[in-house]
Amino acid sequence: MINIKKFTFNPVGVNAYVLWDEVKEAVVIDPACSNRSEEAVLSRFVEEQGLNVVQLLNTHGHFDHLMGNSFAETKWGLKCRIHPGDLPMVSQAKQHAMFFGISMANPAEAVALVPGEEITFGRSVLKFIHVPGHSAGGVAYYSEADHLLVVGDILFEGSVGRTDLPGGNHAQLISGIKEKLMVLADGVRVYPGHGGDTTIGRERRSNPFLQ
Ligand SMILES: [Zn+2]
């Protein structure tokens, strides 16, 4: 069974998630830490739980979600994985951040996820579901067995991702959410890239962007 721990890091308030199971292998999704104290919080948690990090994953290529990539790569000796559609954004992160008045170095190169790939850790499996529209290569990581979905900025509690940035397309985002995410079971717990968590059932019933 997957355990999930959320941290909120960096000036933009990105949710970083650590997922692990009884085998104590872990994946970190959007590490996102932007200074020494946030880095210490994340690495201390992993050490205290006795976890072995086996994959680093990004939900998409916006700079705020990439802010912890370099630290995580150095710390755990792994390349971050990202959908090929957002791979070009990794080398543009510094410029993208500057546009928002935030300074960061470009993260180290990421490695593309392979279509149909399953991400395994311990006894657990994550699939990725590609939902473009917030960015070209946005993905949600889904555990069918544990009914959880780490959704990045595709979907929020009562809202959806902004679509005014390069690669954004509102109609594409809404149709992707409806066709690929709202078909999941009501009880699937949704963990967004910002703000609180929710469920598929709750968003299907009450999210004003999906009615
Ligand atoms: Zn984003």
pLDDT of residue 7: 98
pLDDT of residue 92: 95
Cα-to-centroid distance, 108 and ligand 1 (Å): 19
For CA atoms 1, 82, 178, 160, the dihedral sign is positive
Cα-to-centroid distance, 163 and ligand 1 (Å): 9
Cα-to-centroid distance, 135 and ligand 1 (Å): 7
- The 10 Å CB-count burial string (b at 16+, else e) for 154-180 is bbbbebbbebeeebbeeebbbebbeee
Q: Where are the alpha helices (DSSP H) in 49-169?
A: 63-66, 69-76, 87-90, 93-99
> What value does the mean pLDDT take over residues 96-119?
94
Cα-to-centroid distance, 63 and ligand 1 (Å): 8
pLDDT of residue 80: 98
> What value does the mean pLDDT take over residues 36-65?
98
Given a cut of 90, is residue 71 above it in pLDDT? Answer: yes
The answer to whether 206 and 158 are in contact (CB under 8 A) is: yes
d(Cα 11, Cα 163) in Å, to the nearest integer? 21
Given a cut of 90, is residue 46 above it in pLDDT? Answer: yes
Fold topology of 3-210 = Metallo-beta-lactamase; Chain A (3.60.15)
Cα-to-centroid distance, 60 and ligand 1 (Å): 7
Cα-to-centroid distance, 157 and ligand 1 (Å): 15
> What value does the mean pLDDT take over residues 106-117?
94
- 130-143 tens-digit pLDDT: 999 999 999 999 99
Cα-to-centroid distance, 74 and ligand 1 (Å): 24
Cα-to-centroid distance, 153 and ligand 1 (Å): 5
Token digits for 73?
A: 């790569």
Three-state SS at 88: helix
> What value does the mean pLDDT take over residues 169-193?
98
pLDDT of residue 131: 98
Token digits for 94?
A: 């510094």
pLDDT of residue 88: 95
Token digits for 166?
A: 């390069």
Cα-to-centroid distance, 62 and ligand 1 (Å): 5
pLDDT of residue 134: 98
With bands split at pLDDT 50, 70 and 90, how would you rate the model's confidence at 166?
Answer: confident
With bands split at pLDDT 50, 70 and 90, how would you rate the model's confidence at 122?
Answer: very high
With bands split at pLDDT 50, 70 and 90, how would you rate the model's confidence at 27?
Answer: very high
